[in-house]
């Protein structure tokens, strides 16, 4: 009868843990358009009255669910909190909507954002790299740590030797595209599907991925300067960005 | 237009009738029908005397049913263009339903988003078809072949926690696109891209930055993460050269203590110079919103007399259940009127357009507020008929128990500041209605009642018909003058999209998306548990009179 004991142990989790989980749920999972109070359903699916595998819930809560609205919580919640909230969600299987707290306590702890472990200047650099208050920022064309648009090279792999090199690196891969209508623009070749041409148009940020059929555009020698798109950053700011890139590259 | 002129002249003696330039005819060229967003067709082949004989002539299954089918189809020169939740685009022979081409946008494999997945429609013009994507790209396709011509990223969706679900709007050589993100730690914007090249022409930030007028209406750094999404589609006045766009709620939705101030330009209609994107005027409906009552919906452009004086007006229904009418030349307040009975977040709107008696959510203490976050109406659009002179809109009588909570922003993450539980209104079960209103005074002309929330857009036609649908799959026609039901058809899945009318070779068609889904479809389950069993779908149904009876 060991299996029964195990089952009962699972069916009756520590009340304090469940209560902690209920609070995490109210503050993080029931909010807004998500799962609703006590998992009553909303934009996110109903959790009340359904049975879940505990390991599945743990995995989805930690890592999120690709191709859905469910984010991973491992960077916002500690593992104890995740364990607790999963324990609570397991209790919703019996549809205990009326028995659980229906509102948050109003004292949401400050969320645990992704912890940045690098030096202060690198942290500043990261902020500048992704600075959403700038219409043109490094991340408009470069991708790092899961954010940004991967048009230009991976800067962490080759951070550049100096601020000057960051501001105005060699851009030999940028060519000049000429279209059938005589339009020319600086272009970064992506591929040549079916004899056509796909290029990033670097005329002005943000870059545009443009597709041309066979014979609609040609590529020739280019003379594009990166300096125009870094003009919004001071040397001191680029020094911080460089520190961030070097720190990333060294990890 | 000539077949209708005589009829208008006859009526003109009795009523002052508005100009007709908001009407569509053979084509349905823009999201809102025309730039005026009337969702009114001048076609009258189908009318009260024969609507009972409407039959389905073709249907089209998209195969992409997650999130339902929420689009407005576009029709240009007998070709119908349709988009689906996850970025499929179809060009379809509008007379036969034959597929002419298809395009399937490939989302990144691991893509996930708090918003969506859904898509409300396309823009067609300049030989191109324009699509917004869930990962925040604007995409241009060749109108003849569906081949992709360009795509440009408005902002990395993972960083901003925003995406594009609304239909773009083409104005001249620009295609204008809004983004979601009003419930994320994000700063909203409206962007114009060049139709031919995809290059950015201008961007209007919906929250002013340091040094700009209005920045002082945000406390500290709250402007950086203050929401202000632009998730629906704007309107355009070619004479004034103004683009009208609605800006949604500030974030965090329910918790406002960290963003003290009026929070411009959230919950405002903004009028932008089409060439530069510069702000010409704004009208803020809800200063310092703490209810998530977006001013996000359609801007209906009407030329009507007010107290005997002809005015160029703009009508906008907001999520709080209030209709605001302003002068669209200046933004001056004209009138405001409610579309719902159960409304307790304010006691009213003053003669000058100010909110009176604000009833705000409290931290940690649940409070019954009406309407619910689902809105006194959802985004699904109303319609205006110049023949009746009335505006037709759906409305939702539902409430919620809401509690605010203190919350710190994390860039691109959900930033809500509270939770809620749907509730029935005091004294009666939740329900929905479709009403006809005199647009300036809000005087109600008739009301059609529905058990379940009406979440499909309204179509008005010169046949004096009003079309919409319900969550149970019924697509139906009402008499535009009396509200009486004249015809109904079971499409097999609930309606959440926008019906249109068009004509090919002299035959009038009525088309409606059918396919239940969306945030409010999920939310409805809290009040109507059986709604969880409402089947999803994604099909277009097209109706016409039988050939022999025309």
Cα dihedral value B237, B241, B246, B252, nearest 10 = 180
Based on its alpha-carbon atoms, the radius of gyration of chain B, rounded to whole angstroms, reads 22
Dist. CA A90–CA A87, nearest whole Å: 5
Q: Given this model, what pLDDT does residue A9 score?
A: 45
Averaged pLDDT of chain A: 85
User: Cβ contacts (< 8 Å) between B181 and chain A: which residues?
Assistant: none
**pLDDT tens digit sequence for A43-87:** 788 888 888 889 999 999 999 887 777 888 888 888 999 999 999
Angle of CA points A41, A46, A49, to nearest 5°: 125
Q: Given this model, what pLDDT does residue B235 score?
A: 98
Residue B514 bridge partners (DSSP) = B539
Interface check B112 vs A, CB under 8 A: yes
Query: Angle at which helices A79-91 and A15-24 pack, to 10 degrees?
Result: 100
Q: Given this model, what pLDDT does residue B87 score?
A: 95
User: Which of B44, B237, B289, B292 does the annotation list as catalytic?
Assistant: B292
- For residue A115, name the pLDDT band (cuts at 50, 70, 90): low
Q: Distance between the two ends of chain A, CA-based, in angstroms?
A: 51
Q: Given this model, what pLDDT does residue A96 score?
A: 42
Cβ of A67 within 8 Å of Cβ of B107? The answer is yes
For residue B309, what are the contacts with CB-CB under 8 A and spacing of at least 6? none
Percent of chain B with pLDDT over 70: 96
Q: Given this model, what pLDDT does residue B22 score?
A: 96
Dist. CA A172–CA A109, nearest whole Å: 50
Query: Angle at which helices A120-129 and A235-250 pack, to 10 degrees?
Result: 110
Cβ of A40 within 8 Å of Cβ of B203? The answer is no
The separation between CA B313 and the C-alpha centre of its own chain, rounded to angstroms, equals 18
Averaged pLDDT of chain B: 94
**pLDDT tens digit sequence for B51-79:** 999 999 999 999 999 899 999 999 999 99
Nearest residue in chain B measured CA to CA from A110: B408
**pLDDT tens digit sequence for B411-448:** 998 899 998 899 999 999 999 999 999 999 999 999 99
Q: Would you tell me which residues 339-378 of chain B have a C-beta closer than 8 angstroms to some C-beta of chain A?
A: 363-366, 373
What's the length of chain A?
251
Q: What pTM did the predictor assign?
A: 0.92
Tokens of B285: 């409906």
- Bigger pLDDT: A233 or A158? A233
Dist. CA B154–CA A101, nearest whole Å: 41
Q: Given this model, what pLDDT does residue B230 score?
A: 98
- Tell me the C-alpha to C-alpha distance, in Å, between residue B83 and each of A81, B37, B165, B181, B538: 41, 19, 10, 21, 10
Residues B297/B379, Cβ–Cβ less than 8 Å: yes
- Region B25-42 average pLDDT: 98
Cβ of B159 within 8 Å of Cβ of A103? The answer is no
Highest-confidence range of A89-103, B313-327, B517-531, by mean pLDDT? B313-327
Nearest CB neighbour to A41, from listed B408, B419, B522 = B522
Shortest Cα–Cα distance, B138 to chain A (Å): 10
Tokens of B233: 């589609």
User: Is B428 exposed, middle or buried, given 0-12, 13-18 or 19+ CB atoms closer than 10 A?
Assistant: exposed
Please tell me the least confidently modeled range out of A23-27, B209-213, B353-357, B484-488.
Answer: A23-27
Q: Given this model, what pLDDT does residue A12 score?
A: 56
- Region B226-248 average pLDDT: 98
Residue A210 bridge partners (DSSP) = A199, B150
Dist. CA B28–CA B258, nearest whole Å: 45
Nearest residue in chain B measured CA to CA from A207: B152
Cβ of B419 within 8 Å of Cβ of A46? The answer is no
Phi-psi category of residue A69: left, alpha or beta, with phi > 0 → left and psi -120 to 50 → alpha: alpha
For residue A6, what are the contacts with CB-CB under 8 A and spacing of at least 6? none
Q: Distance between the two ends of chain B, CA-based, in angstroms?
A: 19
Number of H helices, E strands in chain B: 3, 39
Dist. CA B525–CA B301, nearest whole Å: 35
Cβ of B197 within 8 Å of Cβ of A201? The answer is yes
ipTM exceeding cut-off 0.95 for this assembly = no
Angle of CA points A219, A225, A231, to nearest 5°: 145
**pLDDT tens digit sequence for A197-241:** 999 999 999 999 999 999 999 999 998 999 999 999 999 999 999
Nearest CB neighbour to B366, from listed A102, A185, A206 = A102
Cβ of A41 within 8 Å of Cβ of B158? The answer is no
DSSP B233-256: --EEETTTTEEEEEE--BSSSS--
Nearest residue in chain A measured CA to CA from B113: A69
Tokens of B196: 């031919």
Which is nearest to B230 in space by CA: B139, B307, B294, B172?
Answer: B294
DSSP secondary structure code for residue A236 in this structure: H
**pLDDT tens digit sequence for B122-150:** 999 999 999 999 999 999 999 999 999 99
Nearest residue in chain A measured CA to CA from B367: A103
Q: Would you tell me which residues 122-161 of chain B have a C-beta closer than 8 angstroms to some C-beta of chain A?
A: 147-156, 158-160
- 3-class SS string, A28-65: HHCECCCCCHHHCCCCCCCCCCCCCCHHHHHHHHHHCC
Cβ of A133 within 8 Å of Cβ of B224? The answer is yes
Dist. CA B357–CA B346, nearest whole Å: 5
Cβ of B406 within 8 Å of Cβ of A41? The answer is no
User: Cβ contacts (< 8 Å) between B192 and chain A: which residues?
Assistant: none
Tokens of A247: 């720190």
Alpha carbons within 13 angstroms on the beta-carbon side of residue A69 total: 22
Residues B41/B61, Cβ–Cβ less than 8 Å: no
- Region A156-177 average pLDDT: 90
Which residue, among B111, B134, B148, B156, would best test binding to A if mutated, counting the most A CBs under 10 Å from its CB? Answer: B156
Residues B519/B542, Cβ–Cβ less than 8 Å: no
Residues A138/A59, Cβ–Cβ less than 8 Å: no
DSSP B411-443: TTSB---EEEEEEPPTTS--EEEEEEE-TTT--
Strands B418-423 and B279-284: what pairing? unpaired
A-B interface: how many C-beta pairs under 8 angstroms? 165
**pLDDT tens digit sequence for B160-208:** 999 999 999 999 999 999 999 999 999 999 999 999 999 999 999 999 9
Phi, psi of B419 (to 5 degrees): -140, 165
**Active-site annotation holds for B156:** no
Q: Is the dihedral of CA B6, B7, B11, B12 positive or negative?
A: negative
Which is nearest to B167 in space by CA: B314, B30, B36?
Answer: B30
C-beta atoms surrounding B26 within 10 Å: 20
Report the b/e string of A152-185 with b at 16+ CB within 10 A: beebbeebbeebeebbebebeebbebeeeeeeeb
Which is nearest to B94 in space by CA: B466, B511, B490, B465?
Answer: B511
Strands B309-317 and B300-306: what pairing? antiparallel
Instruction: Indicate the SS3 state at residue B462.
Output: coil
Tokens of B485: 């039901």
- Tell me the C-alpha to C-alpha distance, in Å, between residue B166 and each of A31, A174, B88, B246, B269: 24, 34, 14, 12, 16
User: Cβ contacts (< 8 Å) between B159 and chain A: which residues?
Assistant: 130, 132, 139, 147-148
Which is nearest to B195 in space by CA: B120, B143, B119?
Answer: B143
Q: Given this model, what pLDDT does residue B385 score?
A: 98
Cβ of A44 within 8 Å of Cβ of B523? The answer is no
């Amino acid at each position: 009868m060991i299996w029964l004991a195990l089952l009962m142990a699972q069916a009756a989790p520590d009340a304090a843990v469940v209560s902690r989980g209920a609070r995490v749920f109210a503050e993080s999972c029931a909010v807004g358009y998500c799962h609703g109070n006590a998992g009553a359903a909303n934009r996110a699916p109903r959790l009340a009255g359904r049975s879940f595998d505990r390991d599945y819930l743990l995995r989805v809560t930690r890592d999120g669910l690709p191709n859905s609205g469910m984010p991973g919580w491992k960077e916002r919640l500690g593992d104890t909190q995740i364990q607790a909230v999963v324990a609570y969600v397991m209790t919703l299987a019996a549809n205990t909507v009326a028995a659980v707290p229906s509102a948050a306590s109003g004292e949401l702890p400050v969320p645990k954002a992704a912890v940045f472990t690098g030096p202060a200047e690198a942290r500043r650099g990261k902020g500048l790299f992704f600075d959403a208050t700038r219409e043109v920022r490094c991340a408009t064309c470069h991708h790092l740590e899961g954010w940004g648009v991967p048009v230009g090279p991976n800067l962490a792999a080759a951070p550049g030797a100096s601020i000057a090199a960051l501001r105005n690196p060699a851009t030999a891969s940028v060519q000049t595209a000429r279209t059938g209508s005589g339009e020319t623009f600086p272009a970064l070749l992506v591929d040549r599907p079916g004899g056509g041409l796909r290029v990033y148009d670097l005329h002005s940020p943000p870059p545009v991925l443009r597709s041309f059929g066979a014979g609609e555009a040609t590529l020739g020698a280019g003379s594009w300067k990166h300096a125009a798109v870094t003009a919004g950053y001071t040397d001191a700011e680029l020094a911080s960005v460089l520190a961030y890139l070097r720190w990333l590259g060294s990890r | 237009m000539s077949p209708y002129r005589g009829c208008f002249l006859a009526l003109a003696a009795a009523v002052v009738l508005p100009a007709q330039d908001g009407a569509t005819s053979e084509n349905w060229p823009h999201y809102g029908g025309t730039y005026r967003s009337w969702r009114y067709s001048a076609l009258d082949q189908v009318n009260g005397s024969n609507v009972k004989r409407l039959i389905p002539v073709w249907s089209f299954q998209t195969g992409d049913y997650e999130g339902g089918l929420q689009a407005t189809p576009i029709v240009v020169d007998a070709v119908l263009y349709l988009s689906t939740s996850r970025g499929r685009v179809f060009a379809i022979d509008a007379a036969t339903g034959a597929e002419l081409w298809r395009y399937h946008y490939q989302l990144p494999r691991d893509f996930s988003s708090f918003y969506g997945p859904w898509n409300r429609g396309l823009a067609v013009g300049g030989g191109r078809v324009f699509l917004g994507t869930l990962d925040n790209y604007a995409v241009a396709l060749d109108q003849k072949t569906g081949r992709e011509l360009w795509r440009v990223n408005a902002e990395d969706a993972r960083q901003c926690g925003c995406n594009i679900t609304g239909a773009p709007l083409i104005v001249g050589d620009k295609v204008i696109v809004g983004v979601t993100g009003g419930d994320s730690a994000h700063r909203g914007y409206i962007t114009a891209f060049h139709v031919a090249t995809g290059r950015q022409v201008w961007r209007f930030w919906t929250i002013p930055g340091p040094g700009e007028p209005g920045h002082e209406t945000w406390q500290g750094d709250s402007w950086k993460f203050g929401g202000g999404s632009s998730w629906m589609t704007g309107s355009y006045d070619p004479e004034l050269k103004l683009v009208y766009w609605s800006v949604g709620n500030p974030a965090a939705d329910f918790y406002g203590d960290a963003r003290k101030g009026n929070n411009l330009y959230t919950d405002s209609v903004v009028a932008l110079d089409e060439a530069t994107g510069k702000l010409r005027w704004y009208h803020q409906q809800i200063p310092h919103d703490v209810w998530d009552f977006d001013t996000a919906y359609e801007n209906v452009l009407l030329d009507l007399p007010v107290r005997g004086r002809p005015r160029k007006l703009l009508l906008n229904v907001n999520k709080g259940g209030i209709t605001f009418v302003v002068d669209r030349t200046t933004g001056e307040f004209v009138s405001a009127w409610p579309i719902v009975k159960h409304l307790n977040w304010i006691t009213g709107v003053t003669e000058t357009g100010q909110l009176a008696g604000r009833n705000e959510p409290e931290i940690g203490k649940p409070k019954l507020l009406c309407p619910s976050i689902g809105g006194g109406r959802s985004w699904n659009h109303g319609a205006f008929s110049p023949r009746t002179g009335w505006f037709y809109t759906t409305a939702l009588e539902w409430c919620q128990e809401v509690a605010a909570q203190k919350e710190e922003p994390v860039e691109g993450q959900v930033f809500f500041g509270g939770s809620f539980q749907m509730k029935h209104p005091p004294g009666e079960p939740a329900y929905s209605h479709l009403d006809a209103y005199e647009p300036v005074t809000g005087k109600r002309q008739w009301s059609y009642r529905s058990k379940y929330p009406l979440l499909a857009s309204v179509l008005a036609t010169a046949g004096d018909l009003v079309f919409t649908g319900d969550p149970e799959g019924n697509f139906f026609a009402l008499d535009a003058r009396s509200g009486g039901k004249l015809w109904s058809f079971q499409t097999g899945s609930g309606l959440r999209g926008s019906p249109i009318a068009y004509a090919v070779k002299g035959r009038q068609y009525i088309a409606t998306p059918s396919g239940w889904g969306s945030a409010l479809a999920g939310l409805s389950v809290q009040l109507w548990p059986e709604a969880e069993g409402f089947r999803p779908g994604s099909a277009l149904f097209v109706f016409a009179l039988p050939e022999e009876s025309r």
